[in-house]
Amino acid sequence: MATSKPKAKRPAVKAKATKPKAAARGRKPAPKRPTKAAPAASAASGATTDIESVLNERRIFAPSASFAAKAHVPSIAKHKALSKRAVENPEAFWGEMAKNVDWIKPWKKVLDWKPPFARWFDGGLLNLSANCVDRHAATWRKNKAAIVWEGEPGDERVLTYGDLLREVSRFANVLKSLGVEKGDRVAIYMPMIPELPIALLACTRIGATHSVIFGGFSAEALRDRINDAQATAVITADGGWRRGAEVALKPQVDAAISGAPSVRHVVVVKRTGTAIHMEPGRDHWWHDLVEGASPNCPPEPVESEHPLFILYTSGTTGKPKGVVHTTGGYLVQTTLTTKWVFDLKEKDVFFCTADVGWVTGHSYVVYGPLANGATVVMYEGAPKHADPARFWKIIEKHRVTIFYTAPTAIRAFMKWGAEWPRKYDLSSLRLLGTVGEPINPEAWMWYRREIGADRCPIVDTWWQTETGAIMITPLPGAVPTKPGSGTLPFPGIVPEVVTRDGDPVPAGSGGLLVIRKPWPGMLRTIHGDPERYKQQYWSQIPGTYFTGDGARCDKDGYFWIMGRVDDVINVAGHRLGTMEIESALVSHTRVAEAAVVPRPDDLKGQAVVAFVTLESGYHADPALKDELKRHVVKEIGAIARPDEIRFSDALPKTRSGKIMRRLLRDIASGKQSIGDTTTLEDLSVLAKLREEEE
């Protein structure tokens, strides 16, 4: 599935020109399903070496007696009992768990399941900001720190639950004054500053649906997402700080909005103080509006199934998918998983390093911890600024007890050296977590030893933007951990490893990871495209949710995730659709055809390798490689920058014209022996690609 274009010159707005094509492809993949699974199987078998290294992993770490004694779920027996009850009667289990949440009106039915459409806690009314703020501000927690924030330059702010209630209410009134109503979409494009969670919570207070777009995305990507969501307001900042430099945000918003007619208002936080353009009538300073706003704003009761947020994620087509989450079920699962997986207690100080632009930030910087009344540490900038000890300084200074980060960050810490964490007092830590990609056992052991002092349990949590909350994970007081394994399903979650036809595979064999039963935090649809929702997630094995991941389950029932089996690359814990990067490349005037594949990377997990065929008359030169990399950054954002670009006169194709990505993957990762090439149309193409390599 490479992206190619006819030889005719492209129209002026080139990125756009590629999109409808990709979108159309996304909408009618029905006949492709069987072949779609083929790379799945081959990816699974292609990953044999990775799996074997993990297979040889025999170490096992049981929870310490002292940790288990105080844990919410204190033993494997209790875990088994909970899971058994949850599987036998999911509705009774989730109904009971929903009592962790405050309902304005109780639900009538726990689950209404018309596959693949679910309604959880139907008939119930609640308000999310009331759950995350008011219910704590009404108790002694009014003066408890809700958010302890540190800016990259070293500035600090602490907001108590009382402060948060005031600020959220004021900003909710601001939104109302701008005409934002229940059900309207609000785009949020901000740095990691306290106004970001305040903006999210203010939206939920009035029933507006937020769509956070990661601040690293380009103006083009922002525009596409604003248009898809038809957002009426954008909340942003002049800029933010990262690696000691200012990341400009407002200029990107200006560029995006020039092609986004739905936007009526832009609210701008002054963060860096840099000069920016303010469009009269449309753009407003946050501080001006908030100053005059009342601190009283009663939370709007919304239905359990009211859309809470849209979060765009990459799929196998060039068109980003707006994953829709709703209120009640999402809140129930994020609240419960935060409590059990992180064994959250009143005095904990919870530091999740994810940006709120990703789902991890939504669920475990904002909603899960705040719903539990926890103290959250939030940091604006890069982990290496001003030196590689920044996180360790933060942990020491704020006495962080729970630290949740990504394997890619852990591998970077390893590379920078253990001397950095060793300089700081990390004795406040009692639990470590990872998320975003498979963690290699070596990194897991380093994390345990150097950060956790061989004392803190590690929770390797598997989940996705689509699942909303953690799905496969140890519960730290109950489940013995094996380095590299996400261990067991969270109670009530029913994953399975199956063949392409949906049949279970024997213990220890690789296959596709599916989820057999609906769960409260599941996505409800793709914004504006229920057909794509059905196609993408529920058609591979009808009635069963397909995750897009390969996995194996060992004889102890432990899950080992093998990575994506579709055309999605996981770079530094972030999913990128290869098709999106290909579309961006092909939108460059000199590019005729592009295929993007992953290559294993020590630091980032996977690196992006692009095979590019040029339009005739253009020459492959090193300067063009840099130009193409910059072009992708402009079109999508820095996260999608190809690590390597290889020019080639032709790409390996089957006789029916399909790019043989499997071969490209092998070439990109420098494999000497290449698998089956019998269906290759022109063998000489391979030889040429290899020459290029040398």
The structure tokens 């996304």 sit at 26
Question: What are the Cα distances from residue 637, in Å, to 65, 219, 581?
Answer: 47, 8, 10
Task: Give, as ranges, the residues between 471 and 490 that touch ligand PRX (CB under 6 A).
Answer: 486
* Beta carbon of residue 145, minimum distance to ligand PRX (angstroms, whole number): 26
Binding pattern to ligand PRX, positions 280-319, x when CB under 6 A?
---------------------------------x------
Among 303, 437, 582, 666, binds ligand PRX (CB under 6 A): 437
* Beta carbon of residue 521, minimum distance to ligand PRX (angstroms, whole number): 11
Query: Using the rule CB under 6 A, is 582 a contact of ligand PRX?
Result: no
Among 228, 254, 549, 580, binds ligand PRX (CB under 6 A): 549
* Beta carbon of residue 665, minimum distance to ligand PRX (angstroms, whole number): 16
**DSSP three-state, residue 237:** strand
Among 221, 324, 435, 610, binds ligand PRX (CB under 6 A): 435
Query: Using the rule CB under 6 A, is 50 a contact of ligand PRX?
Result: no
* Beta carbon of residue 354, minimum distance to ligand PRX (angstroms, whole number): 8
Nearest to 492 by CA among 471, 512, 473: 471
Tell me the C-alpha distance between 443 and 30, whole Å: 40
Piece of 414-422, 459-467, 582-590, 648-656 that binds ligand PRX (CB under 6 A): 459-467
Piece of 48-56, 567-575, 645-653, 662-670 that binds ligand PRX (CB under 6 A): 567-575
Among 148, 429, 561, 639, binds ligand PRX (CB under 6 A): 561
What residues does 157 pair with on adjacent strands?
A: 149
Binding residues for ligand PRX, total number by CB under 6 A: 23
What residues does 554 pair with on adjacent strands?
A: none
Tell me the C-alpha distance between 175 and 592, whole Å: 46
Question: What are the Cα distances from residue 662, in Å, to 255, 315, 413, 549?
Answer: 38, 18, 32, 17
Nearer to ligand PRX, 358 or 379 (CB): 358
Rounded-to-5 percentages of helix, strand, coil across the chain: 35, 25, 40
Query: Using the rule CB under 6 A, is 338 a contact of ligand PRX?
Result: no
What residues does 595 pair with on adjacent strands?
A: 611
Report phi then psi at 415, rounded to 5.
-65, -40
Nearer to ligand PRX, 4 or 334 (CB): 334
Nearer to ligand PRX, 74 or 486 (CB): 486
Nearer to ligand PRX, 252 or 464 (CB): 464
H or E element in which residue 530 lies: helix 530-533
∠ CA 639-641-642, rounded to 5°: 130
Piece of 180-188, 545-553, 639-647, 657-665 that binds ligand PRX (CB under 6 A): 545-553
Task: Give, as ranges, the residues between 156 and 175 that touch ligand PRX (CB under 6 A).
Answer: none
Report phi then psi at 392, rounded to 5.
-70, -35
Among 254, 460, 496, 582, binds ligand PRX (CB under 6 A): 460
Nearest to 512 by CA among 118, 1, 35, 38: 38
Task: Give, as ranges, the residues between 348 and 387 that touch ligand PRX (CB under 6 A).
Answer: 359-360
Greatest CA separation for the chain = 74
Report phi then psi at 510, rounded to 5.
-75, 155
Query: Using the rule CB under 6 A, is 575 a contact of ligand PRX?
Result: yes
Name the residues that contact ligand PRX, by CB under 6 A: 313, 359-360, 435-438, 460-465, 486, 547-549, 561, 563-564, 570, 574-575
